[in-house]
Amino acid sequence: MIEIKNLKKFYGERTVLDIPELIINDGEMLALAGANGSGKTTLLKILGGIIKASEGSLSVSENILYMPQNSYAFRGDLIKNILVGGADRSKALELLEKLELSHLADKKAKSLSGGELQRLSLCRVLSKKCDVLLLDEPTSACDAKGAELVIKAIKEYQSESGCTVIMSTHSPMLALNASDRLIILNGGRIESDGSPEETLANPETQWAKSFAAGWKI
């Protein structure tokens, strides 16, 4: 279980995250939505231990994997880029196959397109085991087919491992197809929290209503 109490993040005078209480149960698949700058990445980075909260407490497993919003490639081919994460070769090949990157396996990772690189970044993360998987906009660079592959791979990883998945997204498809809970952030605060279908069909607040309308649901 992940437990957050009175969590705040300040940058100078600005409060960019303010969460009085949040409990995320083991095995939950949680989507974090909200406009640019609403605090999604900040929350994921705090959960992943990349940055520290300014105030409050957080209890979370130490066995966490984090996929950043901006994908990156190391020097070398795709397989080498996955093995960097500590995977064995057969696992790397299996993931490349699953994310339809096998035909590029021996190419330089730095030469990949944005969507290909994002799928490689996911392969690197999914090659390892964890209790908590943090994914920052895992389908943002993907076309429709790529997004489907990513969603399928995340769901399979979750059902095999039982881990908790927390992913930020601007994609209604990801929120509806791969999550059992949707939290909408607004200015660093939780505006809405519930099942994706319910939240999008019956938004709790006026703000969440206009946000859901923007998603054309």
Ligand X SMILES: Nc1ncnc2c1ncn2[C@@H]1O[C@H](COP(=O)(O)OP(=O)(O)OP(=O)(O)O)[C@@H](O)[C@H]1O
Residues that bind ligand X in the complex, under the rule CB under 6 A: 11, 16, 34, 36-42, 69
Q: Out of Mg ion, ligand X, none, which partner does residue 37 contact, by CB within 5 to 8 A per kind?
A: ligand X
Between the alpha carbon of residue 120 and those of residues 108, 113, 186, the distances in Å are 12, 10, 31
CB 63 within 8 A of CB 125: no
- Cβ closer to ligand X: 37 or 214? 37
Closest CA to 26 of 63, 79, 67: 63
Is residue 171 within the footprint of Mg ion (CB under 5 A)? no
CB within 8 Å of 29: residues ≥ 6 apart:
155, 158, 164, 165, 167, 178, 179, 180, 181
In the bound complex, what is the minimum distance in angstroms from residue 104's beta carbon to Mg ion?
27
- Cβ closer to ligand X: 37 or 86? 37
- Cβ closer to ligand X: 34 or 48? 34
Q: Out of ligand X, Mg ion, none, which partner does residue 192 contact, by CB within 5 to 8 A per kind?
A: none
Q: What are phi and psi of 128, to 5 degrees?
A: -115, 165
Two tokens, residue 19: 């969460």
Question: Under DSSP, is residue 38 helix (H, G, I), strand (E, B) or coil?
Answer: coil
- Cβ closer to Mg ion: 41 or 118? 41
Q: Out of Mg ion, ligand X, none, which partner does residue 54 contact, by CB within 5 to 8 A per kind?
A: none
Contact mark string toward Mg ion, 39..78, x via CB under 5 A: -xx---------------------------x---------
Q: Which residues bind Mg ion (CB under 5 A)?
A: 40-41, 69
